[in-house]
Chains A and B, each alone.
Chain A
Amino acid sequence: MSTATAPSAGAPPTAPSGSLLPRLVSAFSGTAGLALKIAALALSNALAVWAIYVLLTRHHWVAVGLLAVATLLLDLVYLGPWRALLPAKFIVPGTIFLVGFQVFPILYTVEVAFTNYGTGHITTKADAIKQIQITSLEPPANGKSYTMAVAHDSGGHLVLILQDDVTKRDFVGTQKGLTPLPAGAVTASGGAISEAKGYTLLHGLALFNVDKQLQTFVVPVGKAGIRPQSISTAVELEPTLRYDAKRNVFVRISDGTVFRDDGNGEFAHGKEALEPGWKTGVGFRNFSRIIHDPLIRKPFISVFVWTFGFAAGTVLLSFAIGLFLAITLDKKGMRFQRLYRSILIVPWAIPGFLSLLVWQGLLNDKFGVVNRIFHLNVPWLFDSNVAKVSCILVSAWLTVPYFFVVSLGALQAIPEELTEAARVDGGGPFQIFRRVTLPLLLVTVGPLLVASFAFNFNNFNNIYFLTGGGPPQANSAVAGSTDILISYTYKLAIATGKGQDFALASAVTIIVFFITAALSTIGFARTRVLEEVT
């Protein structure tokens, strides 16, 4: 085992010339490095303090608490005198990103899975009550609309100067009632009141600043009330629902129907519910729906089997091809090696979104290049079974460069003496490959195979951009022929029932997570067994 000793801080740098990295490292030890570290810590603290300030003004108390604790821990790790925290100095930056971009979204998804978050249930209960009250206002039969001006009376109180749009009679409205004004007291022109005798009209900023008061200003007229709408109009409206805060119910005024909080995030009377509802916890309802609802359960098994097959097929096919190419190009003294390797990296270099859409065009069975050039009539993307094969082929095409590069590196790490010895012992090329090369290769590449399998198990892009979930199945449920679990979840979330159901999608995601984690754990355990070969 070779060791490299870094020059100690303070000693003059004696790094070998021509080696960039050690020179860089030694340049940043000592005072310059210390100044940089302090600056970095100061910057992150500054950002944290500013963020806390902004969050405080928006009342996000939990976020403030978490951020404060995290910043404090960060400062303790980098400024504290405890030797035990030395490894933490190296791990903390990565951990912060892990927690921020992995752990936090996972926890949030778990939280959402136990609620009813979705269309009709996205706001809070207080807000829902307010919105129901606003939308329950209705113009009464023969309801009137008015041109309005906001004014102060002689006592400085807020009043509304109103002119009936139809009869053109003038009134002054207060929160106590409507009083007619004598003819000629109000001058109006072009749909706007310009003057009212005995009242000071509000204009400009003075008018805009009373908006909050106008929102709650009602001039009672019989059972209805005149409410300001815009800055120059008012409308007669009467409520059709009454909120009883003590009993926590809405009562319909016309027939006395009582709408109760049904524990599902809405006010309902039997099947009739008031909109909007609100987001609330519903326990395990989403999970039980996955198990019991035939609409979701029926395709689950077939989708799972295809997902497994797609991931396994992609990994095995691309590994086989990648390994084959690596072995072929591993010959010493082969000409144009760099050129071949550059060409073979191309599928990896093109952005996946782009190449998938291009493949979708190439594989079109009537106008696609593939069918045209080879004079075929294969329905690449429009037949249920052929589409599955196409998905695996295109996905493998995208993954081959990865396994090519990895296999090349792993092959070069196998000591030549082993293969030489095997050849001396009289082994043919296939035997050498099977007994010597492949096991040693799998030690290195095994974990990568498992990781690639887990990645393709949830490879939304490759499926969705190529076939959109595939040609529809004969017993068309939400799932198409090439839908994998994650694209099936996506369709469940946006194309079911009443709009979007994020809570159900979160629940399905958690189940997919457990499946993927189980498969990966099994896979990693098997690769560890391989290590005992060497």
Chain B
Amino acid sequence: MSSRKRIGALLVVVVAGVLAALAGSIHVARAAGPTLTIWVDQARKDAVTQLANQWAAKNAGVTVNIVVQDFGSIRDKLGTVDASTAPDVILGAHDWTGQLAANGLVEPVYLSAAVRKEFPAYTLNAFSYGLAVKKLYGVPTQIENIGLVVNTSLVKVPTTFAQLEQEALAYKKKVHASFGIAVQQGSGYDAYHMYPFFSGLGGYVFGTNSAGNLDASNIGVANKAFLKNAPLIDKWNKEGLITSALSYSDAQNAFLKKQAAFYITGPWASQVLEQSGIKFKIIQMPKIVDPAVPFLGVQGVMVTKYASVHGVDSLAQDFVSNYVPTPAAQLALAIANGRYPANTIAGKQVTDPVLAEFGKAGIGGVPMPNIPQMASVWQDLGAAWFKATKGSGATPAKSAFTVAARSIADKIG
């Protein structure tokens, strides 16, 4: 290429570059006034958008920017996001609190005593975390928990566990099924769905210390009371009451196709259940040795540390601590997502019967521990259940859970 062509090419290149830079700088126009960025998942996007717009209408000049993210990845993305695209407010699950607070990604929220009274203590505890002193990091909006779904046209609603066992096994024999209660485990394990059985036998994950905080050194996966009741698991496995071979879809299909009369699931399946035409009732699992309470999941709204970087800290706090706790906002969010609201005043206004039944099934439930050490627990606890309910060739429950407890203790260190 001749030198004239070369210079010509160079000129074109440089001009193009400068034009691009100019175009880019014009495009980065800032909106007049502050912007509040909220990360929310697809399911709650419409409800949160409506809520945020109502709030923004009261604060003229504020623009609300709703960004949809995959629910499971909000927690991890928050740690690696660039400050310029980071959110000021996020919607998240309560068991993220520990990890987010330990990473310094969320700000404490201070609620007045009057507002605190409107929320059950455990929902506020679920969003509290701290090594020395517990601080509140978020405002709860919804509660969810699993319950025992009973097909009332096939069996009677059991009031005791013995009755549940008898009815399940009788129905299993009648339809030649291979299990009595449809509860999911599968190759991914599922300690969450098996928790009512676990708590009913006297098991717990972490104990609490004298200050009422979760104590990661007090692991109750193989505590004495539970080990004494563990042979019941072997009995259930032998008679085929529960099995670990079922995945989420296997368990659901078994109940829908009337292969099982009992199904353990949560409010995410309520639409499927309502459309199936089956007459059902949702109850808490009857007491085994202790009350068989489920794990409670609480969802809520948190303020991120990026709110102060963006200069909208007081606005974010206004949205989260003054607007979101109001009964009207709580009800709107919960209904839009098909979950029970955390605010008790809003809870009294819930009319959907399925939702109300799930709410009742969660009374006395245990919030999932929100400390980072919980990450070590899910896998081992789920594996212990998997091995103990495998059918033939299952590990005796006592040894399976003892091994799990030791492994968890090793991992937490």
Given contacts A230-B317, A276-B104, A499-B372, 7 further A-B contacts (CB under 8 A): A49-B20, A123-B103, A230-B321, A232-B322, A273-B131, A275-B131, A499-B98
A45 to B14 alpha-carbon distance, docked (Å): 8
Task: Please determine whether A367 and B104 come into contact, CB atoms closer than 8 angstroms.
Answer: no
Measured between beta carbons, the chain A residues less than 8 angstroms from B79 are: 122
Cβ-based interface call for B364 (8 A): no
Task: Report B181 CB to chain A, min CB distance, Å.
Answer: 15
Cβ-based interface call for B29 (8 A): no
Cβ-based interface call for B393 (8 A): yes
Cβ-based interface call for A214 (8 A): yes
Binds B, one of A452-460, A489-497, A513-521: A489-497
The residue that B104 contacts in the complex, of A230, A275, A474, with Cβ under 8 A, is A275
Task: Report B404 CB to chain A, min CB distance, Å.
Answer: 7
Binds A, one of B160-168, B260-268, B305-313: B305-313
Secondary structure class of chain B's binding surface, majority of residues: helix
| 8 tightest Cβ-Cβ pairs between the two chains A and B | A276-B104, A46-B20, A230-B318, A131-B104, A49-B17, A42-B16, A472-B383, A230-B317
A89 to B393 alpha-carbon distance, docked (Å): 64
Measured between beta carbons, the chain B residues less than 8 angstroms from A295 are: 410-411
B interface residues (Cβ-Cβ under 8 A, vs A): 3, 5-6, 9-10, 12-14, 16-21, 23-25, 28, 32-34, 59-62, 76, 79-80, 82-84, 98-99, 101-104, 107-108, 110, 112-113, 130-133, 135, 178, 187-189, 243-245, 247, 250, 305, 308, 311-315, 317-318, 321-322, 372-373, 375-376, 378-380, 383-384, 386-387, 390-391, 393, 395, 403-404, 407, 410-413
A245 to B18 alpha-carbon distance, docked (Å): 45
Task: Report B278 CB to chain A, min CB distance, Å.
Answer: 20
CB nearest neighbor in B for A480: B383
Measured between beta carbons, the chain B residues less than 8 angstroms from A497 are: 373, 375-376, 411-413
CB contacts under 8 Å to B, within A1-57, are 34, 38, 41-43, 45-50, 53-54, 57
A interface residues (Cβ-Cβ under 8 A, vs B): 34, 38, 41-43, 45-50, 53-54, 57-58, 75, 79, 81, 119-120, 122-123, 127-128, 131-132, 134-135, 137-139, 145, 165, 204-205, 208-209, 211-212, 214-215, 228-233, 235, 237, 240, 272-276, 295, 360-361, 364-367, 379, 381-383, 467-468, 470-472, 474-478, 480, 491, 494-500
Task: Report B184 CB to chain A, min CB distance, Å.
Answer: 13
Task: Please determine whether B250 and A383 come into contact, CB atoms closer than 8 angstroms.
Answer: no
CB nearest neighbor in A for B410: A295
Task: Please determine whether B315 and A364 come into contact, CB atoms closer than 8 angstroms.
Answer: no
Task: Please determine whether A231 and B403 come into contact, CB atoms closer than 8 angstroms.
Answer: no
Task: Please determine whether B135 and A122 come into contact, CB atoms closer than 8 angstroms.
Answer: no
Task: Please determine whether A477 and B407 come into contact, CB atoms closer than 8 angstroms.
Answer: yes
Task: Please determine whether A50 and B24 come into contact, CB atoms closer than 8 angstroms.
Answer: yes
Task: Please determine whether B188 and A468 come into contact, CB atoms closer than 8 angstroms.
Answer: yes
The residue that A211 contacts in the complex, of B113, B188, B313, with Cβ under 8 A, is B313
A119 to B372 alpha-carbon distance, docked (Å): 8
With contacts A134-B108, A382-B390 known, is A474 near B395, CB below 8 A?
yes
Task: Report B308 CB to chain A, min CB distance, Å.
Answer: 6
Task: Please determine whether B318 and A231 come into contact, CB atoms closer than 8 angstroms.
Answer: yes
A276 to B305 alpha-carbon distance, docked (Å): 12
Measured between beta carbons, the chain A residues less than 8 angstroms from B62 are: 208
The residue that A45 contacts in the complex, of B16, B59, B131, with Cβ under 8 A, is B16
Measured between beta carbons, the chain B residues less than 8 angstroms from A214 are: 313-314
A208 to B62 alpha-carbon distance, docked (Å): 8
With contacts A275-B101, A476-B407 known, is A134 near B107, CB below 8 A?
yes
